[in-house]
Structure 1
Amino acid sequence: MVPWVLAFIGFASLVVLHEAGHFAAAKAVGMRVERFALFFPPLIFRKQIGETEYAIGAVPLGGYVRISGMSPAEDLPEDVRDRAYHAQPVWKRIVVIAAGPLVNLVIGVVLLIAFLWLIGPPTAISDRVDEVVPGSPAAGVIEPGDRLVSVDGVRWSPQTLSAVIDGHRCPLAVPLQNCRAAEPAELVIERADGSRKEIELTPTYDAVTERNRVGFRYGLDREPIAFGPAVIRGLDASVRLARLTVELPARLFDPVQRAQITGVVGSYETTRQAIIKAPGDVVFILAVISLSLAIINLFPFLPLDGGHIFWAIVEKIRHKPVPLATMERAGVIGIMLLIPLFMIGFYNDVGRLMGEGFSLR
């Protein structure tokens, strides 16, 4: 199956499970669910089963569960009003709204633990080539699985051999992108079958990293962690990722951190490339995305889940419903705060795609 389809399935699964949390909780407390939808309208598929319509939208940016009476101003038939969202006690509403982020939170933690336990974090740089950059000096000469034995007669660690390659400098006083070194590097490589080959490659200058390279990437050695320590490290990593997500709005004011913000397109592209180049990393990436979805959805702004929870708590404190106009005005403010975050993420994503910034090289 092609990588973009697998990446799409991964994202869609996180959305479906999030909405399934809302759906199951709403059914459990007796609310009437009108629609369970994957993606946003216009709808391209719909099927009525019982009192609920199951649908698929054309805009793949999320999903939603429509519960009767989500808006206090909604006009409902008499036989539905006692099962409407706003007719329920505050605790039931909070349970239903919190169920979606809770599902993503649990999925994220479980995936992180599974990644550490079954796959393991990187422990060292491998001495085997993992990827060859198309169009580079190494393309068509070095192959994935080859081992770099020596460079210019030097035998040592992958880092040392990379430093020797970098020592072959571009002759220009101010080097330009892809400027060729004055002299070639002499490499000895060992093929996957054990045979050795001597080759000459002329490094070129990479203006992004400011290094001279021949165009390959080492793999990473991984070591799975025992289950107990994996649980502890997984929980610790989840807390740190949650903290980073909470701090996301503050990153808008730091130019360096702002440039690192990633949106839906970037997350999808990172997943797609991981499927191609490092399948084990897909588990980690989906864990991070799931945790981020959980935390972002708990931001206290309508129409996010956190906004609904916030106003339900305010209603409980006031002992009376919050005026619809108040929630709507606050919702507009919340949307205005969130729009820059998503726009910057989208802008960064497009910029990386145009500049191949998502490459794992």
Structure 2
Amino acid sequence: MAGTLGTVGFFVALVLVIVVHEAAHFAFAKGFGIKVTEFFVGFGPRIWSFRRGETEYGLKAIPAGGYVRIAGMSPYETLAPEDLPRTFGAKPIWQRALVIVAGPTTHLVLAFVLFALWVGLVGRPVATSPLIAAVAPRLDGQVSPAAAAGLRPGDRIVRVGDLVNPTDLELVRYTREHVGEPVPFTIERDGRRFEVTLVPVLATVAGERVGRIGVLLGRARETAGPLGAIAGGAGVTWDSVVETVGNFGRVFGPRGIGRVLELLLTNAPRTERDPASVVGIGRVAAQTASSGAGDLLYLFAYVNVFIGLLNLIPLPPFDGGHLALLALEKVRGRAIDARKIVPVSVAVLAFFVLFSLSVMYLDLVKPISLAP
């Protein structure tokens, strides 16, 4: 139940934050006197709407975010002569830049707030060996290896095979690589250590058959006071920005595209470093909620960093593409004919849609699981 609630809550929050993104564009446009004709939550057929002033507000059938329609943003829009002074292109470059950057900035600000709450209320994991939070009595109807060996919540795995003090992900990988093989574990309980031998078995996790021993991992944590949470939130936000920028090159570059093609065309298994779509992230949210809802703050904050930076990629139709065109306009001294940019926007959009659908398909047929 916790996992289902985690998934539903994650997607509801994701839609709301995208609406907030659009609301930021809306607020800055209105603040600078730019005409905004529509502000809708969702896409597709109109369900309900009302008009206040010159703007129509409402709901549409597909709850996948929202949009605002700003006068002058479309090169094919027909504008009344009296509206020309209030179009997007009629405003100074700095005002247009603020309207554009307001959306992505909301994601980064929200990420900082969520990271600060996570550091202050949930706490950063302390660098220790994997901590067992729960033991599954059975896996696919059979007694789990961990339960059969007498492992308990609170036990710490200080060695598995030849790995000393493994990380959580190293434990997951090692377990999956040694299905059906006797694996020696060193367990620490109440200050003393003892050895057990477990044989990882194939079990169904998120629709996929993977090697498991039947434990749910927890983490020793260290919380912080208000000032420490603010400083920690800023630090984690910066680290996430740096990591995400690096991941863009890895995921969307030649190696990343090649990896997706390999996963689509072969039986190669997925790893936790492979890209995930909203389907995969929703599944991770369910697993995260099952082991403690607090880490959903971290997951959602990280997703906001990703969305914010993705929107700043300097290619149309992303917000960053519009900023790049404004910079070019500033250098040239005259506006760019937006109609000439449409083919680039279509090509970029087609690439990202195809990439997203491919990864979504992989999330359905080769889901990623983080459970050992």
> Deviations for 1:290-347, whole angstroms, at most 9, x for unmatched residues?
11111111112222111211212222222222123322233234335xx2x4433443
Query: Where does 1:176-325 land on structure 2 (aligned, <5 Å)?
Result: 203-206=199-202, 213-226=212-225, 227-228=227-228, 229-231=231-233, 233-248=235-250, 250-254=252-256, 255=258, 260-325=274-339
Counterpart position of 1:147? 153
**TM-score where L is the length of structure 1:** 0.75
Counterpart secondary structure, 1:147: coil
Counterpart secondary structure, 2:368: coil
Give the conservation status (yes or no) of the 8 Å contact 1:32–1:83: yes
**TM-score where L is the length of structure 2:** 0.73
Tell me the CA shift for residue 204 of structure 1: 4.0
Give the conservation status (yes or no) of the 8 Å contact 1:137–1:214: no
Give the conservation status (yes or no) of the 8 Å contact 2:276–2:359: yes
CA change 1:288–1:232 in 2 (3 A) is closer
Counterpart position of 2:27? 24
CA change 1:218–1:264 in 2 (3 A) is closer
The answer to which of 9-18 and 342-351 deviates more is: 342-351
Q: Does 1:110 align with 2:116?
A: no
Give the conservation status (yes or no) of the 8 Å contact 2:25–2:102: yes
Counterpart position of 1:152? none
Tell me the CA shift for residue 131 of structure 1: 5.4
Which of 54, 58, 66 aligns to 1:55? It is 58
Tell me the CA shift for residue 148 of structure 1: 6.8
Counterpart secondary structure, 1:38: strand
Separation in 2, partners of 1:261, 1:55: 34
Tell me the CA shift for residue 104 of structure 1: 0.9
5+ unaligned residues in a row in structure 1: which ranges? 150-156, 165-175, 191-199
Tell me the CA shift for residue 177 of structure 1: 10
Give the conservation status (yes or no) of the 8 Å contact 1:109–1:235: yes
Separation in 1, partners of 2:211, 2:325: 57
Give the conservation status (yes or no) of the 8 Å contact 1:129–1:216: yes
Larger radius of gyration: 1
Separation in 2, partners of 1:239, 1:335: 23
Q: Does 1:138 align with 2:144?
A: yes
Give the conservation status (yes or no) of the 8 Å contact 2:40–2:58: yes
> Deviations for 1:117-140, whole angstroms, at most 9, x for unmatched residues?
321222134644335274253299
Q: Percentage identity across aligned positions?
A: 26
Question: How large is the RMSD of aligned CA atoms in angstroms?
Answer: 3.9
Tell me the CA shift for residue 287 of structure 1: 0.8
Tell me the CA shift for residue 266 of structure 1: 2.1
> Deviations for 1:64-115, whole angstroms, at most 9, x for unmatched residues?
1111121244212233222111222222111101100011111112222222
Counterpart position of 2:368? 357
Give the conservation status (yes or no) of the 8 Å contact 1:178–1:206: no
Which of 27, 44, 47 aligns to 1:44? It is 47
Counterpart position of 2:124? 121
Which of 101, 104, 122 aligns to 2:104? It is 101
Counterpart position of 2:355? 344
Counterpart secondary structure, 1:74: coil
Counterpart position of 1:154? none
> Deviations for 1:138-192, whole angstroms, at most 9, x for unmatched residues?
29968xx94376xxxxxxx4234x559xxxxxxxxxxx9997678x99xx9x9xx
Give the conservation status (yes or no) of the 8 Å contact 1:113–1:233: no
CA change 1:242–1:138 in 2 (3 A) is closer
Separation in 2, partners of 1:50, 1:96: 20
Q: Does 1:67 align with 2:66?
A: no
Tell me the CA shift for residue 29 of structure 1: 0.6
Q: Which amino acid letter does the alignment assign opposite residue 75 of structure 1?
A: T
Counterpart secondary structure, 1:217: strand
Counterpart secondary structure, 1:55: strand
User: How many residue pairs get matched?
Assistant: 326
Q: Which amino acid letter does the alignment assign opposite residue 244 of structure 1?
A: G
CA change 1:309–1:147 in 2 (3 A) is closer
The answer to which of 220-229 and 274-283 deviates more is: 220-229
Give the conservation status (yes or no) of the 8 Å contact 2:88–2:96: yes
> Deviations for 1:222-271, whole angstroms, at most 9, x for unmatched residues?
11145335145224323323423542555442445886112222223322
Give the conservation status (yes or no) of the 8 Å contact 1:17–1:103: yes
CA change 1:225–1:163 in 2 (3 A) is farther
Separation in 1, partners of 2:5, 2:74: 42
